[in-house]
Amino acid sequence: MKRWQFWLGILVSIACIVFLVLPRLNFPQLWDSLRSANYLWLIPGISVYFIGVWVRSWRLHYMMRPIKKVPVRTLFPMVCIGYMGNNIYPARAGEFLLRPYVIKQKAGVPISVSFAIVLIERMFDAVVMMLFIFVNLPELARLTGASNTVGNIQEVAIVGTVVFFGALLVFLLAAMFPLVTSRAVEWSVRHLTPSRFRPKLQGLADRFLEGLSCLRSPRDAVMILLTSIVIWLLETGKYWFLMQGFPFTVSFFALMLMNGIANLVTTIPSAPAYVGTFEAAGISILTAYGVNGTVATAYTVVLHAALWLPITLLGAWFMVREGLSMTKVRKEVETAPPPPMT
């Protein structure tokens, strides 16, 4: 509550709601749309979503193999806890705070190694989101010309692709040439940082580079990318199933575009649960495809709740089962000693 980032996120969410969501709303029609929706479609939607969470757990197992083999059934609760943290921390920070801590406690993997793996996952996920957008570029060009809201998504997609592919390329090169990277990092730490920080920074860097070992094999990197595509196609499947309960139809590719843009937009600072940013992105895409604004709002609100609530409840249950609390995790992460030098 005392951090400026928290209040910045609150302001961003309020701005999205006030300027992008509320102007499209007709509250009586919104209530009618919510009341008339067929919520039975939540069952297959949530089911396919959790299949995607299981695939995420398998991807994490695959990425951790060079470091330590941890069964998928052990990692699944940890992934759920991380998702729960994403849903209650701004900018989806739960995977960087909660999941590395839980993996350290349950699997003995250093936090900085898990942090590197989370960062790699984020890079691959972002690349897939960009691929989803690029698949729809021809359609997006038409929508951009017809919608002031969609605006310059193409430019954002191009810039984002350069950024994320560039970051992923840096990680791949660092993983493929570990000795060169290690020497470069050691030189940088020795010559560019104060002496009192060098042991901790060098230890963190060594552990971080260890976490990049999952990218040393081109075959493994391709497998991680393919798995990431499957994960996000399954999540888009949830969008498609839920759409069947509302009186509109767009293509699966349109929902891929909505998924990609919504997930990229929700990485900017916002209120916990990315309230406002998700709605603004989702409603903008659907209305650009000609969906009635009130129906688009009702669908996006229900979709947001269906994405947020089940995994948050399951992650909270796993966290209670493990005897953890947010305060305990935060304190232990902040006071953790630096990793040993390697």
Rounded CA-CA distance 315/56 in Å is 14
| Distance (Å) of CA 117 to CA 51, 52, 170, 184, 277 | 21, 18, 14, 21, 26
| Structural domain spans, the chain | 4-334
Q: What is the pLDDT of residue 322?
A: 83
Q: What is the pLDDT of residue 340?
A: 39
Comparing C-alpha atoms, which of 128, 105, 103 is closest to residue 116?
103
Q: What is the pLDDT of residue 42?
A: 97
Q: What is the pLDDT of residue 181?
A: 83
Rounded CA-CA distance 320/81 in Å is 10
CB 82 within 8 A of CB 95: yes
Buried b (16+ CB within 10 A) or exposed e, 234-258: bbbbbbbbbbebbeeebeeebbbbb
C-beta neighbour count of 51 within 10 angstroms: 16
What Rg do the C-alpha atoms of the chain give, in angstroms?
21
Q: What is the pLDDT of residue 337?
A: 45
Q: What is the pTM of this model?
A: 0.84
* Cα torsion 181, 182, 186, 192: sign: positive
CB 41 within 8 A of CB 64: no
AA letter at 213: S
Q: What is the pLDDT of residue 338?
A: 43
* Positions in the chain short of pLDDT 70: 1-2, 4-5, 90-93, 140-158, 160-161, 204, 207, 326-342
Residues 6+ positions from 170 with CB-CB distance below 8 Å: none
CB 283 within 8 A of CB 261: no
Q: What is the pLDDT of residue 341?
A: 36
CB 77 within 8 A of CB 95: no
The full 3-state SS of the chain, as one line of letters, equals CCCHHHHHHHHHHHHHHHHHHHHHCCHHHHHHHHHHCCHHHHHHHHHHHHHHHHHHHHHHHHHHCCCCCCCHHHHHHHHHHHHHHHHHCHHHCHHHHHHHHHHHHHHCCCHHHHHHHHHHHHHHHHHHHHHHHHHCHHHHHHHHHHCCCCCCHHHHHHHHHHHHHHHHHHHHHHHHCHHHHHHHHHHHHHHHCCHHHHHHHHHHHHHHHHHHHHHCCHHHHHHHHHHHHHHHHHHHHHHHHHHCCCCCCCCHHHHHHHHHHHHHHCCCCCCHHHCCHHHHHHHHHHHHCCCCHHHHHHHHHHHHHHHHHHHHHHHHHHHHHCCCCHHHHHHHHHCCCCCCCC
Comparing C-alpha atoms, which of 257, 247, 244, 238 is closest to residue 303?
238
Q: What is the pLDDT of residue 272?
A: 81
Comparing C-alpha atoms, which of 122, 131, 107, 132 is closest to residue 59?
122
Q: What is the pLDDT of residue 255?
A: 95
Q: What is the pLDDT of residue 154?
A: 63
Q: What is the pLDDT of residue 120?
A: 84
- Calculate the CA 286 to chain-centre distance: 21
